[in-house]
Amino acid sequence: MSMTLTIVKPDAVAAGNAGNILALLQSKGFKICAMRQMRLSEGQAKAFYEVHKERPFYNDLVAFMTSGPVVPVALEHDGDAVPLLREVMGATNSEEAADGTVRNLYGTDIERNAIHGSDSAENAAIEISFFFSRSELISNQ
């Protein structure tokens, strides 16, 4: 089993699609190890997305991610969780995402794309620990 992190973004939460997204992920073999709904503070969003702070979209990303509730979820999969999640999520730009992917179904554009997913196993571990303590993670093995 390997783990990754996803965040159902404010656009998808506001549209009432968090449950649909989680159901889709579970149908693809992902198991929920920890989950919560929260509203990120500006400081939390800046810290989480610090890797992008030099990018032109950083301030817009922080503003978007603090615009409403999000649902961070630690996920487990018996395959390689990170690339599998990225495949199920679809292309970053929802307009280019393959049919049936989360972003195709629930995103609207490159920013309001419904879901975040870790981009490497190393970042998944860091991102999971950003939101959840070790004692909050329940393995489904």
- Calpha distance 130→139 (Å, rounded): 18
Check if 116 is active-site: yes
- Are 26 and 127 spatial neighbours (Cβ–Cβ below 8 Å)? no
SS3 of residue 137 by DSSP: coil
Q: pLDDT tens digits for 59-70?
A: 999 999 999 999
Where exactly are the structural domains of the chain?
A: 2-136
Residue 141 has pLDDT above 70, yes or no: no
- Calpha distance 130→140 (Å, rounded): 21
Residue 140 has pLDDT above 80, yes or no: no
CATH superfamily ID and name for 2-136 = Nucleoside diphosphate kinase-like domain (3.30.70.141)
User: How much is the CA Rg of the chain, to the nearest whole Å?
Assistant: 14
pLDDT score of 139: 82
pLDDT score of 119: 95
Active-site position among 116, 118, 128, 131: 116
Strand partners, 77: 2
Q: pLDDT tens digits for 3-62?
A: 999 999 999 999 999 999 999 999 999 999 999 999 999 999 999 999 999 999 999 999
